[in-house]
Structure 1
Amino acid sequence: MHFHGYEWAGDGRLLAKEPERRPSDDAAFRLSDLPPLMTGWWLLRPASQIRGTWDTFAEAADWLAERYAEHTPGGDPWLPIATRRRRAADQLARASDVVWSRWLSDSHWSGHYVVACPNRAWPNIRCPAEHTIA
């Protein structure tokens, strides 16, 4: 098992474009940069959308913490980043996907996603990067 990282930030109102966020036979889903409705569906997207790949859950959790801190100036008043990172590492160690997202303003959304690959919820989806562990 390994982990792929994805991210999306933009006008949160675009998230209402659900057809682009659901797998379909046309290219709309594959070519969209909007986050899929299900985390495992990221693996159906082109490898070019992957922002990082890690063989350990700790490395993936570190990436989440770094990206979230960059997109959340001043931090999260409800959950310190160190606690957030520990919880993410625990989830990832159990092959569960992790999503950290939030509204940054009235319309600006930021989301960071780490997806286990192969994915337990979507075992028939192949690795988009054909990743092999050395």
Structure 2
Amino acid sequence: MHFHGYEWAGDGRLLAKESERRPAEGGGFGLSELPPLMTGWWLLRPDTQIRGTWETATEAVEWLAGRYEEHTPGGDPWLPTEARRQRAIGQLGRASDVVWSRWVSDSRWSGHYVIACSNKAWPRFTCPAR
């Protein structure tokens, strides 16, 4: 098992474009950079959307924490970053995906995703990069 990182930040109103976020024919899913509606669907996207690949959960979470902090300075006031890190390492160790996302202003959304590959929730999906 290894892990792929993905991210998207932008105008949160674009998230309403569900046809680009679902793997349906003619919807533009494969070309869209909007985050899919389901985490495992990232594995159906082109490998050019992968922002990093790691062999250990700890490495993946370090990337996740760094990107999250860059996009959301000060982090989440309700859940300290260190507690968030430890929980994410545990989740990834069980082959569960991790998403850290939030609204950073009235209209701006920031999402950071680490997807386990191979994925226990989506066992039929092949790795996009290997």
TM-score normalised according to structure 1 size: 0.94
**How much has 1:25 moved relative to structure 2?**
2.6
Residue 3 (structure 1) aligned with residue 6 (structure 2):
no
Tell whether 2:9 aligns with 1:13. Answer: no
- Aligned-residue sequence identity (percent) comes to 75
Distance in 2 separating the partners of 1:102 and 1:67: 13
Partner of 1:41: helix, strand, or coil? helix
The amino acid across from 1:124 in the alignment is R
Amino acid at match of 1:67: R
User: Shift of the alpha carbon at 1:75?
Assistant: 2.3
Q: 1:61 — aligned with what? A: 61
What does 1:40-59 align with in structure 2 at a 5 Å threshold? 40-59=40-59
Residue 27 of structure 1 and its aligned partner are, at CA, apart by 6.4
Is the Cα–Cα contact under 8 Å of residues 19 and 27 in structure 2 kept in the other structure?
no
Instruction: Report the TM-score when normalising by structure 2.
Output: 0.97
Which stretches in structure 2 are left out of the alignment for 5+ residues?
Answer: none
> How far 1:14 moved relative to its partner?
0.4
Q: Aligned partner of 1:115: which letter?
A: I
Contact 2:10/2:110, CA 8 A, preserved across alignment: yes
Instruction: State the Cα RMSD in Å.
Output: 0.9
CA distance 1:44–1:50, change in 2 (3 Å): same
Counterpart of 1:3, as a letter, is F
- Looking at structure 2, the residues matched to 75 and 120 of structure 1 have their Cα atoms a distance apart, in angstroms, of 29
Q: Secondary structure at the match of 1:109?
A: strand
- Counterparts of 2:104 and 2:74, CA distance in 1: 11
Partner residue in 2 for 1:92 = 92
What secondary structure is seen at the aligned counterpart in 2 of 1:31?
A: coil
Cα distance between partner residues in 2 of 1:40 and 1:76: 24
Q: How many residues align?
A: 130
CA distance in structure 2 between the partners assigned to 1:75 and 1:48 by the alignment: 27
2:75 and 2:31 map into 1 onto residues whose CA distance is: 32
- List, as ranges, runs of 4+ consecutive aligned residues in structure 1 with deviation greater than 6 Å: none
Q: One-letter code of the match for 1:38?
A: M
Give me the whole-angstrom Cα distance separating, in 1, the residues matched to 2:92 and 2:118.
12
